[in-house]
Amino acid sequence: MTDDASVAGEPDTRAIDDLLDDIYRAQERVEQAEIYRQAVAAELPPDLLARIDALPEGEYAVDEASDLLGGSIG
């Protein structure tokens, strides 16, 4: 058995979770544009960048962003 969740047919949420952990370390809410900028800087895969880019503009709490992006933080 492997630790790679994507092998089991489930999305790998580690990249999103790690990004959100870093962004929300000292903030309660973050703008969509800032989440996207940080994701580009972290060189996330194109499919994850597309999900972040598709978020409506506005501020998000970590649990809101995680829910919308398919992460497991919450």
Q: How many domains does the chain have?
A: 1
Predicted pLDDT at 11: 55
Within a domain: residue 74? Answer: no
Domain carrying residue 16: 5-69
**Cβ atoms within 10 Å, residue 65:** 24
pLDDT digits (tens, 9 = 90+) for 12-44: 789 999 999 999 998 999 999 999 999 999 999
pLDDT digits (tens, 9 = 90+) for 46-67: 999 999 999 999 999 999 999 9
